[in-house]
């Protein structure tokens, strides 16, 4: 995805060659917060913005991408796409909803062990009864439930495997979506 690719690139280039990347609040090694709603663009990147890169990447400049450059890209994006974005999937949806940016994600891994607080209503008409998100179908419905009815839709893509796309249908007026961007 645009978001996790930029963050991963910055994370790799902000660590010294042959050292482990900085860990988050757990040993799983994710650079994303346990609760995507608690993450923000400014805290998603390490503070050592001016460190010299020591990687073997021939396309890398003399220094890593400036974290403020990455933040600027996120602040100015008009669409966020996630294809098999694992732990970043919910963060992409939350980021897009908060900033009223168009998005499309194709979730694959549900990761119920990493996100035990995700819950969906049982579907029996009782809104007070919820259950943990454990299946791919439940995860897609959970993501759709993050917005008002009609703002997030589901569709099937024409390929094998996990092919459900969860995408925005909300009006981006007042946000950075395509229509607002084109009107400037």
pLDDT computed for residue 114 by the predictor: 92
**Mean pLDDT value across the chain:** 71
How many domains are there within the chain? 1
Distance from C-alpha of 86 to C-alpha of 103, rounded to nearest angstrom = 15
Residue 128 backbone phi and psi in degrees, to 5: -85, -15
Best-predicted range by mean pLDDT (7-21, 56-70, 75-89, 149-163): 149-163
pLDDT of residue 135 exceeding 60, the answer is yes
Please check the confidence at residue 173 and state whether its pLDDT lies above 80: no
Q: Tell me which residue range forms the domain holding 145.
A: 2-183
- For residue 106 the two structure tokens come to 């194709």
Mean pLDDT of the 144-161 span: 93
Model pLDDT for residues 89-101, shown as the tens digit of each residue: 999 999 899 888 8
Distance CA 85, CA 109 (A): 8
Tens of pLDDT along 155-168?
A: 999 999 999 999 99
Burial class (CB in 10 A: 0-12, 13-18, 19+), 150: exposed
pTM for the model stands at: 0.61
């Amino acid at each position: 995805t645009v978001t996790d690719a930029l963050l991963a690139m910055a994370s790799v280039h902000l660590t010294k060659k042959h050292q482990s990347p900085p860990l988050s609040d757990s040993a799983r090694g994710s650079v994303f917060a346990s609760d995507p709603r608690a993450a923000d663009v400014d805290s998603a990147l390490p503070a050592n913005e001016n460190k010299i890169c020591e990687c073997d990447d021939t396309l890398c400049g003399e220094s890593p991408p400036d974290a403020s450059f990455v933040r600027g890209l996120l602040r100015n994006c008009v669409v966020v796409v996630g294809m098999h974005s694992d732990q970043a999937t919910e963060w992409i949806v939350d980021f897009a909803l908060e900033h009223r940016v168009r998005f499309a994600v194709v979730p694959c891994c549900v990761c119920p062990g990493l996100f035990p607080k995700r819950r969906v209503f049982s579907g029996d008409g009782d809104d007070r009864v919820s259950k943990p998100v454990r299946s791919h179908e439940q995860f897609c419905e959970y993501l759709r439930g993050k917005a008002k009815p009609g703002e997030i839709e589901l569709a099937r893509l024409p390929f094998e495997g996990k092919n459900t796309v969860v995408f925005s249908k909300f009006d981006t007026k007042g946000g950075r979506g395509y229509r607002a961007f084109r009107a400037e």
